[in-house]
């Protein structure tokens, strides 16, 4: 997806775990997240290597120290924390997340 020729936008409205976290944050150009959503990287407690580029891409987005915290401890984090870390574009009310993502898509699509 790094070389995907189009912009990609995510609307996240539910619990997101492991590789799904990467699909939401790391591989998208814009990511709108419903308030109340939680995220978690459980790889270390499962004895697994982080997948979908987590160990390479996440430090480049949040910094090495925060990436190690998220990947090694595997603690759950909130939508608000995700935005504080620079992982998502905006936290919006749950009933508005898809509309917000679609509005962004329409805005971008209307440009030359």
Q: How many domains does the chain have?
A: 1
Establish if 95 belongs to a structural domain: yes
**pLDDT number for residue 48:** 86
Question: Sorting pLDDT into bands at 50, 70 and 90, what band is 59?
Answer: very high
**pLDDT number for residue 2:** 64
Q: Measured between alpha carbons, how far is 32 from 39 in angstroms, rounded to an integer?
A: 14
Establish if 107 belongs to a structural domain: no
Establish if 108 belongs to a structural domain: no
pLDDT digits (tens, 9 = 90+) for 18-40: 888 888 877 789 999 999 999 99
Establish if 109 belongs to a structural domain: no
Establish if 111 belongs to a structural domain: no
- Please determine, for residue 104, whether its predicted confidence score (pLDDT) is greater than 90: yes
Establish if 78 belongs to a structural domain: yes
Domain range for 22 is: 9-102
CA angle, 1 then 26 then 111, to 5°: 65
Establish if 1 belongs to a structural domain: no
| CB of 83 closer than 8 Å to CB of 90 | yes
Q: What is the pTM of this model?
A: 0.86
């Amino acid at each position: 997806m790094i070389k995907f020729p189009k912009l990609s936008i995510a609307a996240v409205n539910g619990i997101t775990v492991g590789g799904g976290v990467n699909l939401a944050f790391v591989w998208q150009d814009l990511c709108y997240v419903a308030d109340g959503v939680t995220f978690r990287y459980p790889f270390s407690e499962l004895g697994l290597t982080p997948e979908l580029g987590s160990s390479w891409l996440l430090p480049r987005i949040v910094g090495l120290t925060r990436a190690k915290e998220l990947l090694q401890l595997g603690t759950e984090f909130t939508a608000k924390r995700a935005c504080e870390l620079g992982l998502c574009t905006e936290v919006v009310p749950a009933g508005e997340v898809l509309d917000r993502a679609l509005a962004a898509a329409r805005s971008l699509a209307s440009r030359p």
